[in-house]
């Protein structure tokens, strides 16, 4: 294609000046915006000390926490008592009393063997010596009154830490050898005793054997059916507390529902006062909108802290926090929807001499009701997530249970379980809310 002449270019520039005008924002806006964003990120990097935070982060500890989400640790203390090695379990023991543990084998001479995944990685433990096997090679660790000492030529998996020796078998587990005991952490994939705790008569049954008991097995307890026993023992699991967790989850859903419902019922009439085209008094419009701005500007978490101090921990502060925050937010949204209604329907009803209440009932509400319900459903869905957060500050629900499990620093598998439950509930109610909103909006548009 040949180039245009100078005269033709001048003619086109005069006819279409906007096309040929070289605006700075149009020419350099994108690279300028990218450069400004990069400068801002560099500023944030130094201002917030991101580099030192990353460098000083406890990444090894974080890796252990992540592993605890999808695995469990058996943590016996093998104490040296009367020339014998005696296992002692914590209160959250994962095995029933007298159960045979395949990786922890006692011997007649008072010694004990702890196996980590394979026979080539194990500890042969006595009160005076621990033979640490790494890759099939034994490294004797001597135990004396002066301390515990490893040989000089040990692999990186064995570490002399002052008066104790640390052994690291990776994911399979770790051991800490002291003068009076050997602390074991043996890790396994999955969640220990998720169905039944060690004190349950059904302990040791997996999902498939449980189904077999329900449909074809003989009664384990004569006075009740196996199905009833399974439900009772699963909900009453002392380690996982399924019944309590599910009750707290339902409490969270009820908090979100009641708080959103009350906010909808209060915001609905107040929005008519805030809308300029409905209420002609400017003072009333201004006061109501400032009221909405005030109660929604205070974050839901702050409201929850405030009401928790007033009413004590429980679902009431959570409901009140959701109610106050959503009343302001929904009131503002409703008022804006009312100010954008089609006045033709209102004028038509006014022309037949209808009262102001009838005009709003038949000329305004049918237009905005699908939008109001859709917004309330969206807030309800969002409040299910928010109720979890405010529960952590004492407003009840599963959030408080989640915080308690995090506080123990040893129940991260239970934390993962509750997080998965929350994700599942949010996913289900999100789809239900989307389906209802789509139906309402489609009905309104049809």
Secondary structure (DSSP) of 431-444: HHHHHHHHHHHHHH
What tens digit of pLDDT does each residue of 67-96 get? 888 888 888 999 998 889 999 887 666 788
- Joined together, the tokens standing for residue 271 give 């929005």
Give the residue from 260, 336, 323 showing the smallest Cα distance to 296.
Answer: 323
Residue 172 has pLDDT above 70, yes or no: yes
Q: Is the dihedral of CA 396, 402, 407, 411 positive or negative?
A: positive
User: What is the rounded average pLDDT of the residues 166-178?
Assistant: 91
What tens digit of pLDDT does each residue of 201-254 get? 888 888 888 888 888 778 888 888 888 889 999 998 888 889 999 999 999 999
Q: What's the whole-number average pLDDT of the chain?
A: 84
Strand order in the sheet with 137-144: 104-106, 112-116, 118-125, 129-134, 137-144, 147-149
Would you place residue 25 in the very low, low, confident or very high pLDDT band (cuts 50, 70, 90)?
low
User: What is the rounded average pLDDT of the residues 167-194?
Assistant: 90
What tens digit of pLDDT does each residue of 99-115 get? 888 899 899 888 999 99
Residue 445 has pLDDT above 60, yes or no: no
What tens digit of pLDDT does each residue of 272-328 get? 898 888 878 888 889 998 999 888 888 888 888 888 888 888 888 889 999 999 999
- Joined together, the tokens standing for residue 138 give 């034994």
Spatial contact of 365 and 337, defined as CB atoms under 8 Å apart = no
Pairwise CA distance, residues 250 & 378, whole Å: 19
Pairwise CA distance, residues 51 & 34, whole Å: 22
Would you place residue 20 in the very low, low, confident or very high pLDDT band (cuts 50, 70, 90)?
low
- Joined together, the tokens standing for residue 425 give 């509930």
| Per-residue burial over 194-224, b = 16 or more CB atoms within 10 Å of its CB, e = otherwise | bbbbbebebeebeeeebeebeeeeeebeeee
Would you place residue 446 in the very low, low, confident or very high pLDDT band (cuts 50, 70, 90)?
very low
Residue 413 has pLDDT above 70, yes or no: yes
What tens digit of pLDDT does each residue of 144-158 get? 888 888 888 889 999
Residue 162 has pLDDT above 80, yes or no: yes
Cα atoms in the Cβ-side hemisphere of radius 13 Å centred on 250: 6
Output the pLDDT for position 21.
63
Pairwise CA distance, residues 236 & 242, whole Å: 7
Output the pLDDT for position 102.
87
Pairwise CA distance, residues 399 & 371, whole Å: 31
User: What is the rounded average pLDDT of the residues 353-363?
Assistant: 73
Output the pLDDT for position 176.
93
Output the pLDDT for position 262.
94
- Other C-beta atoms closer than 10 Å to the C-beta of 73 total 19
Spatial contact of 104 and 112, defined as CB atoms under 8 Å apart = yes
Torsion of CA 6, 7, 9, 15, to 10 degrees: 160
Output the pLDDT for position 78.
92
What tens digit of pLDDT does each residue of 417-436 get? 999 999 999 888 888 888 88
Residue 143 has pLDDT above 80, yes or no: yes
What class does CATH assign to 242-445?
Answer: mainly alpha
The residue extents of the domains of the chain are 6-40, 74-189, 242-445
Output the pLDDT for position 48.
85
Output the pLDDT for position 175.
92
Spatial contact of 401 and 418, defined as CB atoms under 8 Å apart = yes
**% of the chain beyond a pLDDT of 90:** 21
- Other C-beta atoms closer than 10 Å to the C-beta of 296 total 19
Torsion of CA 34, 35, 39, 45, to 10 degrees: 50
Residue 411 has pLDDT above 90, yes or no: no
Residue 61 has pLDDT above 50, yes or no: yes
Spatial contact of 300 and 386, defined as CB atoms under 8 Å apart = yes
| 353 vs 226 pLDDT, higher one | 226
Q: What are phi and psi of 189, to 5 degrees?
A: -70, 150
Cα atoms in the Cβ-side hemisphere of radius 13 Å centred on 169: 25
**% of the chain beyond a pLDDT of 70:** 93
Give the residue from 278, 281, 287, 289 showing the smallest Cα distance to 341.
Answer: 278
């Amino acid at each position: 294609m040949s180039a245009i002449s100078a005269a033709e270019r001048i003619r086109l520039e005069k006819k279409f000046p906007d096309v040929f005008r070289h605006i700075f924002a149009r020419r350099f806006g994108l690279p300028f915006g990218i450069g400004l964003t990069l400068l801002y990120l560099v500023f944030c990097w130094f201002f917030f000390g991101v580099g030192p935070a990353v460098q000083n982060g406890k990444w090894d500890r974080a890796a252990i926490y992540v592993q605890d989400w999808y695995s469990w640790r058996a943590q016996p203390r093998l104490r040296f008592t009367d020339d014998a090695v005696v296992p002692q379990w914590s209160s959250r023991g994962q095995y029933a009393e007298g159960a045979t543990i395949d990786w922890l084998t006692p011997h007649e001479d008072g010694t004990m063997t702890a196996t980590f995944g394979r026979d080539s990685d194990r500890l042969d433990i006595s009160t005076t010596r621990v033979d640490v096997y790494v890759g099939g090679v034994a490294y004797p660790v001597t135990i004396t009154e002066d301390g515990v000492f490893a040989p000089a030529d040990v692999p990186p998996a064995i570490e002399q830490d002052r008066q104790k020796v640390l052994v690291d078998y990776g994911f399979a587990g770790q051991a800490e050898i002291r003068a009076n005991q050997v602390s074991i952490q043996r890790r396994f994939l999955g969640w220990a005793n998720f169905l039944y705790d060690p004190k349950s008569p059904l302990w040791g049954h997996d999902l498939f054997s449980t189904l077999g008991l329900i449909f074809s097995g003989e009664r384990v307890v004569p006075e009740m059916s196996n199905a009833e026993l399974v439900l009772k023992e699963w909900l009453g699991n002392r380690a996982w507390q399924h019944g309590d967790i599910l009750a707290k989850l339902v409490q969270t859903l009820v908090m979100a529902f009641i708080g959103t419902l009350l906010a909808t019922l209060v915001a609905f009439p107040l929005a008519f006062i805030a809308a300029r085209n409905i209420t002609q008094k400017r003072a009333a419009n201004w006061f109501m909108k400032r009221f909405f701005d005030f109660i929604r500007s205070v974050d839901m978490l702050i409201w929850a802290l405030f009401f928790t101090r007033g009413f004590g921990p429980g679902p009431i502060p959570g409901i009140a926090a959701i109610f106050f925050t959503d009343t302001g937010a929904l009131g503002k949204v409703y008022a804006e929807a009312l100010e954008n209604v089609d006045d033709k329907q209102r004028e038509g009803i006014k022309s037949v001499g209808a009262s102001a209440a009838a005009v709003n009932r038949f000329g305004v509400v049918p237009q905005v009701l699908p939008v109001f319900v859709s917004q309330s459903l969206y807030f309800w869905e969002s409040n299910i997530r928010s109720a979890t957060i405010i529960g952590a500050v004492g407003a009840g629900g599963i959030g408080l249970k989640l915080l308690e499990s995090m506080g123990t620093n040893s129940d991260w598998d239970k934390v993962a379980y509750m997080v998965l439950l929350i994700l599942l509930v949010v996913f289900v109610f999100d789809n239900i809310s989307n389906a209802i909103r789509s139906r309402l909006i489609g009905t309104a548009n049809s």
